[in-house]
Structure 1
Amino acid sequence: MDIHNEKILILDFGSQYTQLIARRVREAHVYCELHPFDMELEAIRNFAPRGIILSGGPKSVYEQGAPAVEEALFELGVPVLGICYGMQLMSRHFGGEVVPAGKREFGHADLLAQGKPGPLFDGFFIDGKSPVWMSHGDHVEKVPAGFEVVAGTGNAPVCAIQDVARKLYGVQFHPEVNHTPRGEILIDTFVRKICGCSGQWTPGHIIEDAVSRIREQVGTDQVILGLSGGVDSSVAAALIHRAIGDQLTCVFVDNGLLRLGEGDQVMATFAENMGVKVLRVDAEERFLGALAGVADPERKRKIIGNKFVDIFEEEAGRLTDAKWLAQGTIYPDVIESAGAKTGKAHSIKSHHNVGGLPDYMKLQLLEPLRELFKDEVRAIGEELGLPHAMVWRHPFPGPGLGVRILGEVKKEYADILRQADAIYIEELYRTGHYHKISQAFAVFLPVKSVGVMGDGRTYEYVVALRAVETKDFMTAGWYPLPYDILAHISSRIINEVKGINRVTYDISSKPPATIEWE
């Protein structure tokens, strides 16, 4: 079974929500890819999508130089769904009129059905209406010939249109965001019923397909994998081990930037319980030496990434047949690092798997999770039999504590942060909040503040605690941890971790902040 045979193409016009569209399609068990809006028509034909989704975007379709698609796109004979800017673009293409709205519409709105909704909106309306999330300054004033209006709001009479005969649909609202409660129904209906996809993109099929691809790609070669203990590299290790068994050797690099006791946990899980070959390398001094005097976060990421590669190559040199370096790169790593396949997004941060590999690296890359989102990685991790606690552990950055220590990284700082973080996570588990939170961690701030302990004055470091709720990690809200629990965590950290006399709690959302501090 080729699980990539049924696929949806998403053309990105620069919306902050484009990744969410892809996640909703994947949740419908259908494969999809993001590509830039100016993808060449021949490439689209070769991609052979069952359907196309046009994303939203910040521009106006009537502006000079506004993003557009080749006109023949709408003649390919596959269903098209335009979202926000995508709907306006499609309307204008077919002779409709798009104008600046008299009143811009951002936030919640009630979508009201007009007449009998078409096939796309089956199950979307309840009693003729559905709450949706709007984010637009323009709207369609004149509907193109052949299209009919399906729904509108009090502020925008044209919010959903369709040409059922040609399978062309448009919505002014954003069905991909959580704020549109039944949005996933609409996207599921589009990809499954309108586009005719059967839903082959399931954990079992993904594993079966990945195992086949790995075996074909690697052959009889030896593979070396950098095992960090995080979800992504752990799932990659389990998946590759299922495919090629003893041809895989994992290198677990203890870089001095791991969580408390993490090294022993990783060795116990993989080497002792799963029978995976794991080499443990103590490289704390090498990493901390390379990071000495470096404060810039991007430089730290590059240094850590390069140092990992150096060590992998050294270990691979001891394996005479090793030709592949396996990594736990996932789809958001690629997209956030450099705009990925859209080619248009701003670089938020570089991921050490994506942006930090040197040109001289002799090993070929094997990245079996590169097409997957985090929730998909977790699902196949459980399917592969990894411990539940490991699969559902909060994300941990590739550079480890190196980007949770602000500024220069020192052993003293890492030791302090490890202890504080362990107390924090222990209390979140004890109080039942850990699995309600998407990601939680402590951050070391290299500043000192005055305090009082006993009868003496102290001048010690500050730790910030971070906890966020998110479904997609593209946007996130801070988690409202109860005051009494925060007070207890703060008291424990200050009393038990030498060198800290002040604890703060980060109440910033993403955006404007990021989840990690660096």
Structure 2
Amino acid sequence: MLEKIIIIDFGSQFTQLIARRVRELNVYCEIHPFNNIPETLSDVKGIIFSGSPYSVRQEDAPQIDLTRFHQKFPVLAVCYGAQYLAQHSGGQVQPSSTREYGRANLNFVQSASKLLKNIDLNSQVWMSHGDTITVVPENFEIIASTDSVNVAGFHVKNSDTYAIQFHPEVTHSTDGKQLLENFLVDICGCSQNWTADAFVETTIAALQEKLGDDKVVLGLSGGVDSSVAAILLHKAIGTNLHCIFVDNGLLRKDEYAAVLEQYKHLGLNIKGIDAKDRFLSQLAGIKDPELKRKAIGRVFIEVFDDAAHEVQDVKWLAQGTIYPDVIESISVKGPSATIKSHHNVGGLPDFMKLKVVEPLNTLFKDEVRRVGKSLGLEAFILGRHPFPGPGLAIRILGDVTEEKVAILQEADAIYINNLKEAGLYDQVWQAGAIFLPVQSVGVMGDERTYENVICLRAVESVDGMTADWCHLPYPVLAKISNEIINKVKGINRVVYDISSKPPATIEWE
């Protein structure tokens, strides 16, 4: 039986980081919005309340029924969660005299506390809150303090309910991993047996039971997610899996032929479909990024419907949806609202008559790679940078034309090839070129030019939920810029994006 931790999301920007840290400790967890908690909580070993940008004193602050959890599951309440638990148990929360944000040190640690085992006095923690718990109820005991925050942590007596004012999930909290492990192992009793090998074994068995002798179609993209999904399904149902690779005209340069060649030796049933003209015609004149995504999703489904009719009695459409896709597509009250729609998340139109199977929709990207390694996939496939489902359409700001796609493909190829030649490709989590809707003045030879701008983007990340821009060496950037300007007709300026996520996203659209 799969044991799990439930993280209740009150809208914190750090909620996904909590999940990452829990899974790094080989414990499976799920994030659920506070207003969409599952009715049944079977196999749940513990509950974590996230932080929130709201104040518990606001009338429209997120609310939950504490009686569903308190004394029924071990609970760890973080930041807003701690304040909510204190206030709704008879304590008091007041505005802080100054906003407490940044590093702090614990000047009191109750060494006997199970939550704080092996955490020393003066341990550094990360604060991010505008309210302070000023009074705790009689049955609460304070277990940690800092110079400015008396109630940095508390325990509800005679229970497995704990709360902390700081964020253990961020790296600035130096003993945060230890604290989370204390909660997961010593308090919740988790066995820490959720590994890539275990996922493969249980998922293949679950797919065999779910799919039986049914036929499944899967859209291969050449990326990590669809590749791992394909191998999992192939091991589960063999030749009943039919893979389709669609050339939507928005792939990287020469990628269509390269991907078909790479998959030849994997034993998969693969059919390639050239649908470039169909996609580009439907994108003509569309500038809004959401409309572009929806148009691509619609045509993708139409192409798949055509292909599915060529496979007799197909019943399922498999997709390489991963957990960040699901999280970013769930609307949560407040700041965790939907960021963008994902064309591979959600239901299908009635006319397709296919059920959806998503074997990876509980995994983060780095977990997908570990599963792929466990399955024996080659390093060049597992190491391939993530590429957006809508392809270059969302790296061309504004309307998409065949000419712009060709220009961007050339520029992007120069960029990626230079990263590989410089030995930097594997150090970068994701890189790509963006075609900007901007023209600028330049000089080539003795002539004035008025041509387009390419922006280069490269980020470091673990799972795409957060990302830092890469500090690529100046000589490499200079070489890439020179090659693009000299070799790609229509480009006279190259810029580099130095924005991190948050506040920026990895893709521009």
**Structure 1: distance between partners of 2:413 and 2:326:** 30
Give matches, 1:53-64, under 5 Å.
Answer: 53-64=48-59
1:327-346 CA distances to partner (integer Å, 9 max, x unpaired)?
00111111112337x89831
Matched, 1:52 2:67: no
Look up the match of 1:36: 33
Look up the match of 1:201: 194
CA RMSD of aligned residues (A): 1.9
Matched, 1:363 2:329: no
TM normalised by structure 2 equals: 0.95
- Stretches of structure 2 lacking an aligned partner (at least 5 in a row): none
SS at match of 1:50: strand
Matched, 1:250 2:247: no
Q: Given the superposition, is the C-alpha separation of residues 478 and 402 from structure 1 closer, same or farther in structure 2, using an over 3 Å criterion?
A: same
Look up the match of 1:339: 331
1:468 Cα offset (Å): 1.6
**Structure 1: distance between partners of 2:207 and 2:355:** 13
SS at match of 2:344: coil
1:110 to 105, 120, 126: 105
Give matches, 1:196-345, under 5 Å.
Answer: 196-270=189-263, 272-339=264-331, 345=336
Look up the match of 1:160: 153
Confirm or deny: 8 A CA contact 2:71 2:159 kept in the other structure. no
**Structure 2: distance between partners of 1:431 and 1:95:** 61
SS at match of 2:478: helix
Q: Given the superposition, is the C-alpha separation of residues 145 and 39 from structure 1 closer, same or farther in structure 2, using an over 3 Å criterion?
A: farther
SS at match of 1:110: strand
SS at match of 2:5: strand
**Structure 1: distance between partners of 2:139 and 2:75:** 15
Matched, 1:133 2:142: no
**Structure 2: distance between partners of 1:390 and 1:497:** 28
Name the aligned partner's letter for residue 469 of structure 2: W
Confirm or deny: 8 A CA contact 1:306 1:357 kept in the other structure. no
Q: Relative to structure 2, which stretch is displaced further, 275-284 or 57-66?
A: 57-66
1:468 to 459, 471, 483: 459
1:64-100 CA distances to partner (integer Å, 9 max, x unpaired)?
3432322423444321000001111122233222111
SS at match of 1:360: helix
**Structure 1: distance between partners of 2:358 and 2:170:** 29
Name the aligned partner's letter for residue 280 of structure 1: G
Look up the match of 2:116: 121
SS at match of 2:453: strand
**Structure 1: distance between partners of 2:166 and 2:154:** 11
Q: Relative to structure 2, which stretch is displaced further, 342-351 or 388-397?
A: 342-351
**Structure 2: distance between partners of 1:438 and 1:111:** 35
Name the aligned partner's letter for residue 367 of structure 1: E
Look up the match of 1:149: 142
1:158-188 CA distances to partner (integer Å, 9 max, x unpaired)?
2111246311111111111233233222212
**Structure 2: distance between partners of 1:246 and 1:406:** 41
Q: Given the superposition, is the C-alpha separation of residues 382 and 56 from structure 1 closer, same or farther in structure 2, using an over 3 Å criterion?
A: same
Name the aligned partner's letter for residue 214 of structure 1: L
**Structure 2: distance between partners of 1:139 and 1:456:** 64
- Stretches of structure 1 lacking an aligned partner (at least 5 in a row): none
**Structure 1: distance between partners of 2:273 and 2:69:** 55
**Structure 1: distance between partners of 2:114 and 2:39:** 25
**Structure 2: distance between partners of 1:288 and 1:474:** 30
SS at match of 1:419: helix
1:67 to 62, 66, 77: 62
2:474 to 462, 470, 483: 483
Name the aligned partner's letter for residue 207 of structure 1: V
1:488 Cα offset (Å): 1.1
SS at match of 1:47: coil
Confirm or deny: 8 A CA contact 1:114 1:149 kept in the other structure. no
**Structure 1: distance between partners of 2:192 and 2:448:** 64
Confirm or deny: 8 A CA contact 2:12 2:336 kept in the other structure. no
**Structure 2: distance between partners of 1:39 and 1:277:** 39
Identical positions, percent: 54
TM normalised by structure 1 equals: 0.94
**Structure 2: distance between partners of 1:214 and 1:157:** 51
Confirm or deny: 8 A CA contact 1:224 1:249 kept in the other structure. yes
1:200-251 CA distances to partner (integer Å, 9 max, x unpaired)?
2111111111111111111111111011111111111111111111101110
Name the aligned partner's letter for residue 481 of structure 2: S
Confirm or deny: 8 A CA contact 1:82 1:90 kept in the other structure. yes
Matched, 1:12 2:3: no
Matched, 1:176 2:169: yes
1:121-175 CA distances to partner (integer Å, 9 max, x unpaired)?
22333xx122222110111112222332222222212211124631111111111
Confirm or deny: 8 A CA contact 1:26 1:32 kept in the other structure. yes
SS at match of 1:324: strand
Look up the match of 1:26: 23
Name the aligned partner's letter for residue 228 of structure 2: V
Q: How many residues align?
A: 509
